[in-house]
Amino acid sequence: MRERRHEADFSPPRGLTNAHVQTLLPRLLPRPPLAREVEVLELPDGDFVELNWASPQPADPEAPVFVLFHGLEGSFDSPYARWLLSAASRLGWRAVLMHFRGCGSQPNRLPRAYHSGDTADAYWLFGQLAHRFPKALKVAAGVSLGGNMLLKLVAEQGGDGLDLAGAIVISAPLDLAASADRLNQGFSRVYERHLVRALKRKVRDKLVRGALPLPLDAGGLDSLSSLRAYDDVVTAPLHGFEGAEDYYQRASAGPLLGDVELPTLILHADDDPFMPASLYERLPAPSPAVHLEIARHGGHVGFMEWRNRRLEPWLARRISRELASWSSPAIPWPGRAGPHLTRSGS
């Protein structure tokens, strides 16, 4: 594994190397203003997801398309979403974020939610984009939960199963069980409590109305204090898993690292407080199509650097460089195993 790791060029400012400082800093800084157009995308099962398109969109139907998947309880307003969508838009890409079910402005219709291995909605979206923009190059990025989902989808579909040129995976919990355990330790419990409160708040109304097929009442929901407990009695049964352990085992993308055929960039920080140390040492070796960059510091989706006399997100700079390499054939991509073409040949 070590020979396939590459050192990320992220360097945190002096005094801001702490993993928790890096994780929390983005929430304290202003986010770039970004107009959006909201679209409701109907799904085959009668539910829907909301798409947020960065506005204005390019007039050229062949403009490259950047698709972003957010993390657990994330949204268009998450700091990383604003930065990455803005960066792609500035480069002339058609940038869109897919809200997972229930994460947009309206509750989803069906008695279910979303989870880390829920690839069907993203697969449907890529099919729709292939129909709308058949000649446009397309690259997708997933952050945290969205990164695990994207990597799982890419691994399962093979190199030509999606109209997608490449994937970018950021701070993804590729071993869900180990990440759930890590979040239940030390200061990371702060993040866990925040996530669990948000998850419980979202399902409470449906649960009280009897709209969820769960043997759980409001009191039982309130008693859940860990992510593993929530996944065991809410996430797992809602989505056909036997329990949290079954869910974590079947939804984790880590075991599929060696199966990835699509050019994929993975960005990770060794000090990510959402994951165990040396996460990639416990996972299978990635395939040659994967370019893995690991930084010593950065926290969870943090990566804040001092640039232009102010704190700025290294992720936006790194992703901008990545997208430029895709849209300009003259710039080599380090992990590309073959021609970076979509299935349409663009």
Task: Give the distance from CA 163 to its chain's centroid.
Answer: 18
Q: Which alpha helices (H) appear in 158-288, and where do they start and end?
A: 176-183, 188-208, 218-222, 227-230, 236-238, 244-251
Closest CA to 296 of 313, 276, 278: 278
Q: Tell me which residue has tokens 């005094």.
A: 15
Q: Which one of the listed residues 270, 271, 272, 320 is annotated catalytic?
A: 272
Report the residue count for the chain.
346
Cis ω on the peptide bond leading into residue 263 (within 30° of 0)?
A: no
Q: Tell me which residue has tokens 């400082």.
A: 21
CA distance 315 to 83: 8
- As a whole number of Å, the end-to-end CA separation of the chain is 33
CA distance 315 to 32: 14
Is 115 annotated in the active site?
Answer: no
Q: Which one of the listed residues 144, 179, 287, 320 is annotated catalytic?
A: 144
CB neighbourhood size of 36 (10 A): 16
CA distance 242 to 233: 10
CA distance 23 to 300: 5
How many angstroms separate the Cα of 259 from the Cα of each of 5, 159, 263, 286, 333?
A: 17, 10, 11, 8, 20
DSSP 8-state code for residue 247: H
Is 272 annotated in the active site?
Answer: yes
Closest CA to 195 of 329, 12, 23: 23
Q: Which one of the listed residues 70, 99, 268, 300 is annotated catalytic?
A: 300
Q: Which alpha helices (H) appear in 71-230, and where do they start and end?
A: 79-90, 120-132, 145-157, 176-183, 188-208, 218-222, 227-230
Is 188 annotated in the active site?
Answer: no
Cis ω on the peptide bond leading into residue 56 (within 30° of 0)?
A: yes
- How many alpha carbons fall within 13 Å on the CB side of residue 3? 2
Active site residues: 144, 272, 300
